[in-house]
Copies of this chain bind each other. A is one copy, B any other.
Amino acid sequence: MAQQVRNKQVILRDYVSGFPKESDMIIVDNTITLKLPEGSNDVLLKNLYLSCDPYMRNLMNKPQGIPNPLSYSPQSVIAGFGVSKVLESGHPDYKEGDLVWGFCKWEEYRLVPSSQILFKVEHTDVPLSYYTGILGMPGITAYGGFFELGSPKKGENVFVSAASGAVGQLVGQFAKLTGCYVVGSAGSKDKIDLLKNKFGFDEGFNYKEEPDLNAALKRYFPEGIDIYFENVGGKTLDAVLLNMRVHGRIPACGMISQYNLTQPEGVTNLAHLVYKRIRMEGFNSADFFPIYPKFLEFVLPHIREGKIVYVEDIAEGLENGPAALVGLFSGRNVGKQVLVVARE
């Protein structure tokens, strides 16, 4: 007889408006049969590591206009990127014990079609949690955004906001490897110390202690910014636009400062895009999954040689998921926020 086990899940209570709270999510104990139905082509997975990412906030909104197919529904399980282990497979491409990563629901176990799995984990000499970060969605996001959209050249001036986060810490290190001058902004002294002492940024500043962001940028970039890797939007973007150089590039990865505002801040200096002939380009990881193998080839040797480091902030247990996720929006996490569901 098939084994029925507990399947803990994180449920969205209702659509969210404004800043998300832990109480917007509920932990429920559901059950699941840990056995594939007869003749199934599906794959039975045990979730190990889940990724907490800012874009997930947008999936909590009541859909307006053309809905995002990933958007959450009230009273349903939320989802994000994660690393899982194959318990049983009805599909020839996967076998018991395989490790995979992709988009998955926030629960302990799940039964999915093989088409829902994104990538098989091929390299296990690095921490498995890295597949939620440097080797997963944030990694390919940083790589594609910086190299493909930023088109960096040696000696150029790079500014990164949310610079100690899952993506920002990588962009800074990629910029240094390229021979750029790189400055990051973040929201605490500890984070600035990380930027300068761990990730090798040339400079960093705490935006909360800068009453005039324009003046701060002029101090660090007297000759202007060539590449702004955009993670925050709002006031920071407005100040950056005043300090961009001609033909600058702004890969726009996220605008976390705006996601919880019912009325987003107005950006007033957009005409500088015209004056300085700047390219600003929104993107997400999906645009770069086709170059994931090329990315791995680039990044794995650097990790193994210690030339690229990655800082994670680890939360333990699915029941602590809501707090970990909500913490992103107050900047509580230091480094990439990971949630451990199970270690194997």
A residues at B contact (CB < 8 Å): 58, 65-66, 68, 224, 233, 237, 242, 252-255, 258-259, 263-284, 287
Contacts and interface: CB of A to CB of B under 8 A. Distances in A.
28 contacts: A65-B242, A237-B270, A255-B270, A255-B271, A255-B274, A258-B270, A258-B271, A264-B268, A264-B269, A264-B270, A265-B266, A265-B268, A267-B268, A272-B282, A273-B280, A273-B281, A274-B284, A276-B282, A277-B283, A277-B284, A277-B287, A278-B281, A278-B282, A279-B280, A279-B281, A279-B282, A280-B280, A280-B281
Tally of this chain's copies: 2
B233 A270 contact: yes
B287 A282 contact: no
A238 to B, nearest CB: 9
B269 A274 contact: no
A289 to B, nearest CB: 13
Contacts of A284: 274, 277
A274 B57 CA distance: 14
Given A280-B280, A280-B281, A270 B267 contact: yes
A61 B230 CA distance: 29
A168 to B, nearest CB: 15
A290 to B, nearest CB: 14
A276 B258 CA distance: 16
Nearest to A65: B242
Nearest to A272: B282
